[in-house]
Amino acid sequence: MTSPNSEVSSKKLVAGICGILLGSFGVHKFILGYTTEGIILLAVTLVTCGIGGFFTGILGLVEGIIYLTKTDAEFESLYISGKKAWF
């Protein structure tokens, strides 16, 4: 059985990497349980035929970097417990 801290750490790592690599599709939002926000990012990318993907990709890149630079405790309090959906 894994400890809660390692679950937060692995979720932070996966969400951060997906935010950087797949941010325009909102994958990092789905990983954190923010379904509405993930659908918004995905819809903007698809509805604009990928043109909006540039902007949502930048957003994902920034969020991914922010996720990875937070400590596990900060990440948990802001994004898991606090349910902070954007930045």
Structural domain includes residue 7: no
Inside any domain, residue 26: yes
Confidence of residue 1 (pLDDT cuts 50, 70, 90): low
**Of 8, 2, 20, nearest in space to 72 by CA:** 8
pLDDT at 2 over 90: no
Residue 36 lies in a domain: yes
The answer to the question of residue 13 being in a domain is no
Geometric angle at alpha carbon 59, from 58 and 62, rounded to 5°: 85
Task: Look at residues 74, 56, 59, 54 and name the one whose alpha carbon lies nearest to residue 12.
Answer: 74
Question: Could you tell me if residue 9 is inside a domain?
Answer: no
Rounded to whole angstroms, the Cα distance separating 4 from 9 reads: 9
pLDDT digits (tens, 9 = 90+) for 10-62: 999 999 999 999 999 999 999 999 999 999 999 999 999 999 999 999 999 99
| Contact (Cβ atoms closer than 8 angstroms) between residue 19 and residue 63 | yes
Q: Which domain holds residue 25?
A: 20-81
The answer to the question of residue 52 being in a domain is yes
Q: Say how far apart CA 81 and CA 43 lie, in whole Å.
A: 26
Comparing 72 with 1, the larger pLDDT belongs to 72
> Does 55 reside within a domain?
yes
